[in-house]
């Protein structure tokens, strides 16, 4: 039974306020904290910010107050049943985008309830999530955002993320491979662009003073050993008046598709995330028809929203999805999105946000819903490493059980 609920304002990895939730039951206290994105799609659930003089308007005291004064009376005394608690909060919010109570309010409580429910069943969180979702567990392949661009960097390229995907036999070996690659790449960047270009962006990746996306791809290929590449274009971020501002060029949809065909043929790219504007379902379909069996990954296009996913399926716009629990605003709804992706035969990439905390919930979540991949930034910065370290332990514990 839920005995108490308390929220507070803490700071995320960008130094911005976010919500932390402590939920108490007869068996203990369960703490969760909520991430926040810099590059956010228009269809995401809405986090609640104060918009006042504190923290340049980014405070979350209204969200904290909603938890302490509005959500707490609704759930204290209730049994620890995640599906029921999430439903109570969603109904109390009363909006499609969670702008009533705030997605950051609802999600923090939802995460803590799932943690408490796992504890009630004496199960690791990933095991409980698998049991709850009725999806088969899987240790995901990590995608490391090794070079940051776009909204995550302030550098000279438009594309937001350049990820390497190792192909070793275990998560542990994939992590080792990525760390070694990171150190090698740091030296190459220093030689090519100067030591100042080895500074890191929001997600722990380097921000070299490159002048084009191709320049970065060549750098990754030069260093690559048994590693594929996924790029997160985040095309909506540089789309305006029907054109995409790529460096000094302005490209229309057909020119962007032609550019993707060119780089896919020249580099070891296995996936492109958000290649076109977030509402251009027919353009995404055209890209898929032109580019073959590559992963075309919906993030802003889908916003972890089942209705958007069904629309994308109708258009055949993508064959993979980014799954972010704060995009939809509750864990149970994120699980429904994972189920829908499995039904469609899509690959699932569970993702962090650029404004993160040390909370490692998404590591267990990725395993519990059987995600194919996880991305949590480069193997640098503590809030990124927290997720990878948790996955190391999950893999080790799983291997012990299976031996």
Sequence ranges of the domains in the chain: 2-122, 133-402
Residue 105 CB partners (closer than 8 Å, separation 6+): 7, 19, 48, 63, 64, 66, 67, 71, 89
Residue 191 CB partners (closer than 8 Å, separation 6+): none
pTM: 0.95
Q: Which residue in 161, 203, 277, 356 is the catalytic one?
A: 203
Residue 209: the pLDDT is 86
Residue 403: the pLDDT is 47
The CATH number given to 2-122 is 3.30.390.10
Indicate if 209 belongs to the active site.
Answer: no
Residue 204 CB partners (closer than 8 Å, separation 6+): 145, 148, 377, 378, 379, 380, 381, 384
What are the tens digits of pLDDT across the range 196-206? 888 888 899 99
What are the tens digits of pLDDT across the range 10-54? 999 999 999 999 999 999 999 999 998 766 768 899 999 999 989
Residue 201: the pLDDT is 85
DSSP 19-37: EEEEEEETTEEEEEE--B-
Residue 149: the pLDDT is 84
Inter-axis angle of helices 213-223 and 171-193, nearest 10? 120
The answer to whether the 2-122 and 133-402 domains have the same CATH topology is no
Residues of the chain above pLDDT 90, percent? 84
Calpha distance 140→373 (Å, rounded):
4
Q: Which residue in 137, 324, 375, 387 is the catalytic one?
A: 324
Q: Look at residues 7, 27, 375, 22 and name the one whose alpha carbon lies nearest to residue 205.
A: 375
Calpha distance 37→240 (Å, rounded):
21
Indicate if 203 belongs to the active site.
Answer: yes
Q: Give me the CATH topology for the region 133-402.
A: TIM Barrel (3.20.20)
Regions of the chain short of the pLDDT cut 50: 403
Q: What angle do CA 188, 190, 193 make, to 5 degrees?
A: 100
Are 273 and 285 in contact by the 8 Å Cβ rule? The answer is: no
Residue 171: the pLDDT is 97
Q: How far is CA 401 from CA 19, 117, 125, in A?
A: 35, 22, 15
Residue 246: the pLDDT is 86
Q: Look at residues 171, 154, 179 and name the one whose alpha carbon lies nearest to residue 377.
A: 179
Residue 296: the pLDDT is 98
Phi/psi for 210 (5° steps) reads: -80, 155
């Amino acid at each position: 039974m839920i005995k108490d609920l308390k929220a507070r304002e803490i700071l995320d990895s960008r130094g911005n306020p976010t919500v932390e939730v402590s939920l108490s039951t007869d068996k203990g206290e369960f703490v969760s904290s909520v991430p926040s994105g810099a590059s956010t799609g228009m269809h995401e659930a809405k986090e609640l910010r104060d918009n006042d003089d504190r923290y340049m308007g980014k405070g979350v005291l209204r969200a904290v107050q909603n938890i302490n004064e509005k959500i707490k009376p609704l759930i204290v005394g209730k049994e620890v049943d995640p599906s029921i608690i999430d439903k109570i909060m969603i109904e109390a919010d009363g909006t499609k985008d969670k702008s009533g109570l705030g997605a950051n309010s609802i999600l923090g409580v939802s995460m803590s309830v799932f943690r408490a429910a796992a504890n009630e069943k004496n199960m690791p969180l990933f095991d409980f999530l698998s049991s709850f979702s009725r999806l088969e567990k899987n240790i995901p392949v990590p995608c490391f955002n090794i070079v940051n661009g776009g909204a995550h960097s302030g550098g000279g390229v438009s594309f937001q993320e350049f990820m390497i995907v190792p192909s070793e036999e275990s998560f542990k070996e994939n992590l080792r491979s990525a760390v070694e690659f990171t150190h090698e790449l740091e030296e190459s960047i220093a030689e090519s662009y100067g030591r100042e270009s080895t500074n890191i962006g929001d997600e722990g990746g380097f921000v070299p003073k490159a002048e084009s996306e191709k320049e970065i791809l060549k750098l990754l290929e030069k260093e690559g050993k048994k590693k594929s590449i996924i790029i997160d274009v985040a095309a909506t971020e540089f789309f305006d008046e029907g054109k995409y501002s790529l460096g000094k060029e302005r490209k229309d949809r057909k020119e962007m598709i032609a550019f993707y065909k060119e780089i896919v043929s020249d580099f070891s790219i296995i996936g492109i995330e958000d290649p076109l504007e977030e509402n251009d379902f027919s353009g995404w379909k055209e890209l898929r028809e032109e580019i073959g069996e590559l992963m075309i990954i919906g993030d802003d296009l889908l916003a972890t929203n089942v209705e958007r996913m069904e629309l994308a399926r109708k258009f055949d716009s993508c064959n993979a999805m980014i799954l972010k629990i704060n995009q939809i605003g509750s864990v149970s709804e994120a699980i429904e999105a994972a189920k829908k992706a499995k039904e469609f035969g899509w690959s699932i990439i569970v993702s962090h946000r650029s404004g993160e905390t040390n909370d490692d919930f998404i590591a267990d979540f990725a395993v519990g819903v059987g995600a194919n991949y996880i991305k949590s930034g480069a193997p640098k910065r503590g809030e990124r490493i927290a997720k990878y370290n948790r996955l190391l332990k999950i893999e080790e514990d799983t291997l012990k059980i299976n031996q």
